[in-house]
Amino acid sequence: MRLEGAEVTTIEGLSAGEKLHPLQQAFIDQDAFQCGYCTPGQIMSGVGCLREGHTGSPEEIREWMSGNICRCGCYVKIVRAVEQTAGRK
């Protein structure tokens, strides 16, 4: 994949200084992580899901987030965090 000239945002670039991105805060609020291994990827996928408007239902969120695997099985809480950020919870 070529990204020359493109803007790439990493997990570190989501927050604004000391203020967390709303999805980062929702992950804390919903306790949506356990070991933390998948958390950066889950949050970045969740941000993409939110930006692209794929938050109509828990099923739609799960479908659009299905490329990320959580070995601890925190999927319900991850979906709740995305819903919270989308204003649905």
Please report which confidence band the pLDDT of residue 16 belongs to, taking 50, 70 and 90 as the band edges: confident
User: pLDDT tens, 50-81?
Assistant: 999 999 999 999 999 999 999 999 999 999 99
Structural domain range at position 42: 21-86
Instruction: Look at residue 3 and tell me if it is in a domain.
Output: no
pTM: 0.90
Instruction: Look at residue 48 and tell me if it is in a domain.
Output: yes
Amino acid letter, 47: V
Number of domains in the chain: 1
